Amino acid sequence: MKNKNSKKQTRTVQYDHPGRPRHTLKWPKSKKQFTFTDIMDMNGCDTRPGKNFGKALNENGCTMLTVRKNLKADMYILDPKTKEIIRVNPRSEVIKIRIKNKDVTAEPNSETGLGRRALLYCLRINKDSIKAPKASTPKVAKVKVARKTRTPKSTSQTPTADVLDKIHAALATPEPAPALTVPAVTIAPEAPAPAPAEVAPAAPVAEPVAEVAPAPAPVAAPVSTLVNS
């Protein structure tokens, strides 16, 4: 049986070193607006895609989790026990860019304009110089799909169907355009125009004289040969 009067012994752990100091974030002050990835690069965090993404590059660097926690502690006032956000810290060095109560995001890295859009941050001292970005819509090239040529049926159904299949096949296959042959044309030099010939004056034409017809000869009276009885 356990003794009720026995006291529970607790193990106390003693450390002989103060531990690692808290990492102090460095801000990309050369940029007016920056993303979370820019903060990671500034603090020696690996941002290359792969298995080492988010890990410290060297002893002076930090991990992505450290950057996220320190950024949250700078921008907001947290509950000391639950670490939940109570309100925005009015004295934070970094703020989130918001225009018309909407978060401003950066352009995606892809050429098509698709993908995640990272949130933009800026230093509090530069918040008055931030302007609203112009809305840009990505241009997507239209792809023209070639029309599939209709193949005639192998089995004959009706004479009318066969004729229609032949017409469709003839329309589907374009006829090659005949080659145009242009005959060679040689242009001869123009001959000089001949000089106008001198025209001789016309001879005077005599007027015709009317001929007078001869008078007809007198006709003799017939002589009677009958004798009066």
Give the domain ranges of the chain.
36-129
Give residue for tokens 């002589």: 223
Residue type (1 letter), 221: A
Q: Are 29 and 123 in contact (CB under 8 A)?
A: yes
| CA–CA gap between residue 111 and residue 216 (Å, rounded) | 128
What sign for the dihedral angle of Cα 154, 155, 161, 163? positive
Q: What is the pLDDT of residues 116-158, one digit of tens each?
A: 889 999 999 998 888 766 655 555 566 676 777 766 555 555 7
Q: Which residues contact 43 (CB under 8 A, 6 or more apart)?
A: 23, 25, 26, 61, 62, 66, 67
* pTM exceeding the 0.75 threshold for the entire prediction: no
What Rg, from alpha-carbon coordinates, does the chain have?
59
Kindly give the confidence (pLDDT) of every residue in the chain, 229 residues in length, as a single tens digit, with 9 standing for 90 and above.
555 565 666 666 666 666 677 788 999 999 999 999 999 999 999 999 899 999 999 888 899 999 999 999 999 999 989 989 999 999 999 999 998 888 899 888 777 777 788 999 999 999 888 876 665 555 556 667 677 776 655 555 577 777 888 888 888 776 666 666 656 666 666 666 665 656 555 555 555 555 555 555 555 555 555 444 4
| 70-78: long-range pairs with CB below 8 Å, 24+ | 70/22, 70/23, 70/24, 70/25, 71/25, 71/36, 71/39, 74/25
